[in-house]
């Protein structure tokens, strides 16, 4: 018997190779499909629907304004009846005119030699005027015709009262008595640019104190009238309170 006579060797042909390749591709494709299905099953939501995004709605509550306050009941204003004053039938009583009481006048003192030389105590023709300025016979320092004095009405009395009050406020001169003759120069705005004592009290210390007060006279509250001269001679009666 010849070797190989009882069996025949089967050698693969080209058709077999093609069938094996097709099976391999089908197997691989099936595996891939199975894997894809598995992944799809794992990723698919369990509730059976697509995921939904939850939306939050913000509700704004409108605040209602408070009710307006109730108007307060005002108390009725009771109008007071004005009392009508009836005119009195009785006529007003007349006040009796009081008669002026004559006050004793001090006897004039003897003029000093210094005053006579200065012409301070010369006889006056009609006494002093409303300024309390001496109205001498014209030759004295305080005479009617001397340096800007004379005449004056209320202005002279105002200047005199202003000087007297200044002397009475100073403790050194408030006790002075008698008549003081002064010469002052007043500016248009009421300032004393110059003030000099023209008579003597008989006490050198008191004369010096009076002169100090005159040198520091406060300003007048009103200015000098335009029709009045700056220089004024006045007699200050320190007996008056």
Residue 89: the pLDDT is: 58
Q: Where are the chain's structural domains?
A: 124-237
Q: Considering Cα of 234, then 239, then 240, then 241, what sign does the dihedral take? A: positive
DSSP string, 88-148: PSSPPPPPPPPPPPPPPPPPPPPPPHHHHHHTTTPPBSS---TT----BSSSSTTBTTSTT
Residue 124: the pLDDT is: 36
Residue 111: the pLDDT is: 43
Q: Which runs of consecutive H residues, i.e. helices, occur in the chain?
A: 14-43, 113-118, 154-169, 204-215
Residue 115: the pLDDT is: 41
Residue 150: the pLDDT is: 39
The dihedrals phi and psi of 234, each to the nearest 5 degrees, come to: -135, 150
Residue 108: the pLDDT is: 44
Predicted confidence pLDDT, tens digits, the chain (241 residues): 445 444 455 555 566 777 778 888 888 988 998 988 888 888 876 665 555 666 666 667 677 777 787 777 665 555 554 555 555 555 555 554 555 445 545 444 444 443 433 333 433 333 333 333 333 333 333 333 333 443 445 888 899 999 989 988 999 888 777 788 889 999 999 999 898 888 888 888 888 988 999 889 999 999 899 999 998 888 887 765 4
Residue 185: the pLDDT is: 93
Q: Of 127, 148, 125, which Cα lies nearest the Cα of 137? A: 125
pTM of the model: 0.38
Give every CB contact of residue 38 below 8 A, 6+ residues apart in sequence.
Answer: none
Residue 225: the pLDDT is: 92
Q: What dotted CATH number matches 124-237?
A: 3.30.1150
Residue 45: the pLDDT is: 67
Residue 56: the pLDDT is: 61
Helix (H/G/I), strand (E/B), else coil: 195: strand
């Amino acid at each position: 018997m010849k070797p190989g006579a009882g069996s025949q060797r089967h050698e693969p042909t080209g058709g077999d190779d093609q069938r094996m390749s097709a099976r391999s591709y089908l197997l691989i494709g099936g595996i891939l499909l199975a894997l894809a299905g598995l992944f799809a099953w794992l990723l698919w939501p369990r509730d059976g629907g697509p995921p939904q995004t939850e939306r939050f709605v913000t509700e704004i509550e409108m605040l209602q304004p408070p009710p307006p306050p109730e108007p307060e009941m005002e108390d009725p204003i009771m109008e007071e009846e004005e009392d009508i004053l009836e005119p009195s039938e009785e006529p007003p009583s007349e006040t009796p005119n009081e008669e002026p009481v004559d006050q004793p006048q001090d006897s004039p003192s003897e003029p000093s030699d210094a005053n006579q030389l200065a012409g301070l105590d010369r006889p006056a023709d009609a006494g002093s005027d409303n300024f309390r300025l001496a109205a001498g016979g014209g030759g004295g320092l305080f005479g009617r015709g001397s340096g800007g004095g004379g005449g004056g009405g209320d202005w002279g009395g105002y200047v005199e009262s202003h000087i007297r009050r200044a002397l009475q406020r100073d403790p050194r001169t408030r006790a002075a008595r008698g008549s003081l003759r002064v010469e002052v120069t007043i500016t248009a705005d009421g300032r004393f640019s110059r003030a000099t004592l023209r008579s003597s009290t008989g006490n050198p210390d008191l004369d010096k104190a009076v002169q100090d007060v005159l040198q520091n006279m406060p300003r007048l509250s009103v200015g000098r009238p335009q029709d009045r001269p700056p220089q004024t001679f006045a007699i200050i009666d320190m007996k008056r309170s």
